[in-house]
Amino acid sequence: MWEKVLHPFAVGMAWLWVKIHEGLSLIGLGSGSGIGWVLSIVVLTLLVRVLILPLFLRQIKSTRGMQAVQPELQKIQAKYKGKKDTVSRQKMAEETQALYKKHGTSPFSSCMPLLVQMPFLFALYRAIFAIKPLMNGTYTIGGEHYDALGPITRDVALEIDSSSVLGVPLSHTLTDTLKAGAGALEIIAFVVMIVLMVGMQFLSIRLSMTKNMPPQADPNNPMVRSQKMMMYVMPAMFIFTGIAFQMGLLVYMVTTTAWSWGQQIWTIKYMPTPGAPAYKELVAKRQKAYREWAKPLFLDYDRERAAVADSPEALEELNTRTLTEVERKAKGQRVASDFPEAMGPGERVTVYRNLSSQEWTVLPDEMWMRGVRRATEKSQVQRAQNAAREQPRRLSREQRRQQALREEEDARQAERREARRSAQARPGANLSAEEIERRRQERRQARRSQGKKKPQAPSE
């Protein structure tokens, strides 16, 4: 089944392989058998690796995103630990998905690039592996016989097989070479290729474990032990499988292993795993380079800001000018600059200024900028909530009635206090409270009576 799935990819690789050989022939490497077919395997392998490089970079970013959410993910798992009911499981899944959405990552996004590139790598392997069966007329896929793999017919397969590495045909294995009674040079060619393949793979794994993995507190951790075992087991496995590889496949494996080793070195230098020794070294290196120009620049900025503090227009112009200069220079240290639109020039300059004085714990890259955006959004929500609380609430009819009664009672109390003060200032200030209230009621009644009297029209 898998052979049939990979067959269209293998046909595509075969066409690409033949076209590369034709291109090498045009530059003088010959159109028949010879070094051109050997180099075409190398070029084909490198070309495929370059084409799938964007998937590799996306895989690294997705993996780093998953590592960033691990602390929050562990809190969710601890929250629902031991809860097996359907409701708890559903809530846990919802909170987990919300967390992935918040950080823009998911387990599938970190695995997808690897799954997409695997068919191309397996197809390249199948195209090279098919040379010997095509040459012998025994090439089958799922029990069905094929005379060719795209443009690679039996004649082309014979031409490829006639090409050799140090006298070893591309379709020969070490066993075939020994049976043919080959000399020491042919055997040394196999040994050298296998040693190169195994050695570079060992160095690549060791480099990853020592420089690009966060240190584990417990050396007896099963994961740590399995990683150390892998560093020795994987290369050992390739020693035995390398003996069964055809020379053409060894050329492919040595090329792809060399690429992986160089890719690992590049990754450690420019995109290391957060928390790993290489990551800490890169943080310190970029922070030092940033401070060299940022500290003097912000010292000048502080002096100019103090001089124009009383002029909003001048301060705005200073922030805009400084931001333009800082963004231009910060680009050299790969400092992210896609701030939220809600942040003005002054706020952005403040962030850059803090970077020049604070110790860096992470690189100011895309993941760091996501944290800045989340903090800005949270701050905006908090300000909106505070503003809503400070606004006067809309009162209901009952609340308005109660408020009117309270205001009326407050007015009566104030009137009584005023009446007492007036009575005390006049003769008869020693009147009782009942007498004062009676006289006050009489005055109020008199004022009402006067207000009800209508004015008479003047006589002619």
Structure confidence at residue 459 (pLDDT): 43
- As a whole number, the mean pLDDT across the chain is 81
Between 126 and 427, whose confidence is greater?
A: 126
Instruction: Judge whether residue 248 has pLDDT over 90.
Output: no
Name residue 171's amino acid: S
Range in 258-262, 404-408, 444-448 the model is least confident about: 444-448
Structure confidence at residue 217 (pLDDT): 45
Per-residue pLDDT, averaged over 104-120, amounts to 71
DSSP per-residue codes, 247-299: HHHHHHHHHHHHHHHHHHHHHHHHSPPTTSHHHHHHHHHHHHHHHHHHHHHHH
Split at pLDDT 50, 70, 90, the class of 403 is confident
Residue 81 forms part of a structural domain: no
Which of 333, 359, 384 is the last residue in one of the domains? 384
Do 198 and 244 share a domain, yes or no? yes
Q: How far is it, in rounded angstroms, from Cα 41 to Cα 383?
A: 62
> Going by C-beta distance under 8 Å and a sequence separation of 6 or more, which residues neighbour residue 107?
66
| Secondary structure percentages of the chain, helix, strand, coil, to 5 | 75, 0, 20
Q: Is 268 exposed, middle or buried (0-12, 13-18, 19+ CB in 10 A)?
A: buried
Residue 181 forms part of a structural domain: yes
Instruction: Judge whether residue 408 has pLDDT over 60.
Output: yes
The pLDDT tens digits for 137-164 are 888 887 788 889 999 999 998 888 888 8
Do 353 and 281 share a domain, yes or no? yes
Element (H, E) at 164: strand 164-165
Structure confidence at residue 318 (pLDDT): 92
Split at pLDDT 50, 70, 90, the class of 62 is confident
Backbone angles phi, psi at 284, to 5 degrees: -65, -40
Q: How far is it, in rounded angstroms, from Cα 397 to Cα 384?
A: 27
Split at pLDDT 50, 70, 90, the class of 431 is low
Instruction: Judge whether residue 112 has pLDDT over 70.
Output: no
Per-residue pLDDT, averaged over 130-134, amounts to 88
Confidence (pTM): 0.69
3-state secondary structure (DSSP) of residue 153: coil
Cα 157 to chain centroid, rounded? 45
Do 265 and 294 share a domain, yes or no? no
The string over 32-42, giving b where at least 16 C-beta atoms fall within 10 Å of a residue's C-beta and e elsewhere, is: ebbebbbbbbb
Instruction: Judge whether residue 171 has pLDDT over 90.
Output: no
Structure confidence at residue 222 (pLDDT): 57
Residue 430 forms part of a structural domain: no
Structure confidence at residue 87 (pLDDT): 84
The pLDDT tens digits for 321-378 are 999 999 999 888 889 888 888 888 999 999 999 999 999 988 888 878 877 887 887 7
Quote the domain boundaries for residue 249. 166-271
Residue 40 forms part of a structural domain: no
Per-residue pLDDT, averaged over 23-47, amounts to 86
Q: How many domains does the chain have?
A: 2
Structure confidence at residue 450 (pLDDT): 65
Structure confidence at residue 326 (pLDDT): 92
Which of 220, 239, 271 is the last residue in one of the domains? 271
Structure confidence at residue 321 (pLDDT): 93
Q: How far is it, in rounded angstroms, from Cα 107 to Cα 98?
A: 13
